[in-house]
Amino acid sequence: MDNQTLEQCKAVYLTAEDLRIAASIIYNAYHDDPFFLEVFGNQDRSMYEQKLRAAIREELSELWQQEQPLIGWFDGERLIGVACVVTQQIPIGQSRYWHWRLKMVLGTGWKSTQGLMEKETCLLTHLPSDKCGILQFIALTPNEQRKGNGSKLIQAVLSWCDEQPQLDGIGVFVNNPVHNKVLSLQGFKSIASVKIGLVEGEILFYEKCMVSDDE
């Protein structure tokens, strides 16, 4: 993708019709993520993949219903990237709604559901205030990686964050050095080294840029 094509890409809120494609993009991006491999168990590969699909599907559905920001990165009409943010305006971590827990248990099992909540609780514990969002997912289609799309999508998320009066910033758990570097280049800073289950990683935080009333 050349610079001219990249400039034609745009960030747009996802519609209900986009969720199926978004789920597929996220699934492919997180298929081999160490955290999900541990939480869902990878001894039975087909069962692992089934649980991962169910978790992504239910989480996207929940975020959509709770009107949380689901940001799509589009090349024309084609969805090529997704970023999902969950804010503390809805219960997360150990405070998750009972209907979310039930759906997750049915799709992934109780132990896996507990693992997902533990990750969110760990993030919440280290974030500087209760007015911070969590970057739940960020993903690109494989063919659109290493073309500058990732940085542009992150910038779109951070621009959205800067415009939200109720947010102080966004945190994310990262266990991949490459992802850590990419996010750090866009303004995220490490605020804690943590271990969630058996997976070690860092919590990165983007502190919102204050926009003056004159801008």
Give residue-wise pLDDT tens across range 64-111: 999 999 999 998 899 999 999 999 999 999 999 999 999 999 999 999
Region 33-42 average pLDDT: 95
Q: Determine if the pTM surpasses 0.75.
A: yes
pLDDT above 70 coverage of the chain, percent: 93
Q: Band the pLDDT of 21: cuts 50, 70, 90.
A: very high
Q: What is the pLDDT of residue 20?
A: 96
> What average pLDDT does the chain have?
92
Residue 8 has pLDDT above 80, yes or no: no
Domains of the chain in start order, with CATH, are 3-207 (3.40.630.30)
Assess contact for 88 and 124: CB atoms under 8 A.
yes
Q: Band the pLDDT of 7: cuts 50, 70, 90.
A: low
195: helix, strand or coil: strand
Q: Considering only CA atoms, which of 96, 75, 99 is closest in space to residue 86?
A: 96
Q: What is the pLDDT of residue 42?
A: 84
Residues 6+ apart with CB under 8 A from 154: 83, 138, 182, 183, 186
Q: Considering only CA atoms, which of 133, 5, 26 is closest in space to residue 72?
A: 26
Q: What is the pLDDT of residue 6?
A: 57
The first and second tokens of residue 77, run together, are 């009409």
